[in-house]
Amino acid sequence: MIRLPRKLDAAIRAEGEKTYPNECCGVLLGQIDDENVREVDEILPIDNARDDGEQYHRFRIEADDFMRAEQLARQKGRDVLGFYHSHPDHPAEPSEYDREYALPFYAYIIVAVEKGRAAKLTSWELKLDRSRFETEPIEPIE
Amino acid sequence: MSVTIQIPSALRAFTERKSEIAVEAKTVGEAITALTNLYPDIRPHLFEEEGKLRSFINVYVAGKNVRNAGGVEAAIPDGETLTLVPAIAGGAPLGVRL
């Protein structure tokens, strides 16, 4: 399960609308407890590193950006909990491409953006054997 | 020579939750092999089935990406830190528009 403050839920949706018809992306920072419950307390929007012509259906967070996010998380006593991205005019479900490039543990939040308006927002985790994503509940918190 | 490998949070499930692992190695390849010998379950997440390092896994030595600076052959100075850094990618499925 992942706990997501309402203001960050709104911020992710706003990012998706701002970058529409392209995909937005960013990093989720926060803490994880002994029962594997993740609580997000900060998001870091990242410039989509894909070429302009690819951004409508692809995103990439470069290693240098990830390195900076990891260092920031360590400085703050936090962990990188996962990532968010948008699916413009597509369902909030991971694609096969998402699975190929995913790692376990991380939460993958996807927000569908329909004709410029943010719609369903979901969170997913890759199984340890990399075979598929499983959806995970999102608990809204203040 | 002793090398410290920093493990990203996603892969700590395979290293007994340890964020840093010390190994003996002179090159990046030796260090990663030592890591996978210690923790075999981490291997599928670092390597493709053919044994090639996954394209989205980057290795930083002393804060610099070695992808175009020797790759797995790159030397690691004694006492230096090696960091595993994934590049994250994804995107919407093709042909499933709303």
Residue with tokens 């719609």: A119
Strand partners, A43: A28
> In this prediction, does ipTM exceed 0.90?
no
**pLDDT above 90: percentage of residues in chain A:** 63
CB contact under 8 Å between A97 and B91, yes or no, is yes
- pLDDT confidence of residue B51: 78
Split at pLDDT 50, 70, 90, the class of B70 is confident
Domain that holds residue A50: 2-141
User: Alpha carbon of A37 to those of A3, A107, B5, B91: distances in Å?
Assistant: 7, 11, 26, 25
pLDDT in tens, B10-59: 888 899 989 899 999 999 999 999 999 999 999 988 988 787 888 888 99
CATH tag, B2-86: 3.10.20.30
> Which residue does chain B place closest to A100, by CA atoms?
B90
Split at pLDDT 50, 70, 90, the class of B97 is low
Asked if the peptide bond before residue A45 counts as cis, ω within 30 degrees of 0, the response is: no
- pLDDT confidence of residue B96: 55
CA quadruple B9, B13, B16, B22: dihedral sign: negative
Q: Which residue has the higher pLDDT, B32 or A96?
A: B32
* Domains identified in chain A, total number: 1
Interface of B with A in 50-89 (CB under 8 A): 56, 58, 60, 63, 65, 83, 85-89
Question: Residue B12 is encoded by which pair of tokens?
Answer: 């700590």
The residue-averaged pLDDT of A13-35 equals 93
Report the CATH number at residue A124: 3.40.140.10
What is the rounded CA–CA span in Å between residue A72 and residue A10?
23
Whether A79 contacts A109, CB under 8 Å? no
What is the rounded CA–CA span in Å between residue A66 and residue A89?
27
Q: How many residues does chain B have?
A: 98
Nearest residue, CB atoms, A60 vs list B63, B65, B89: B89
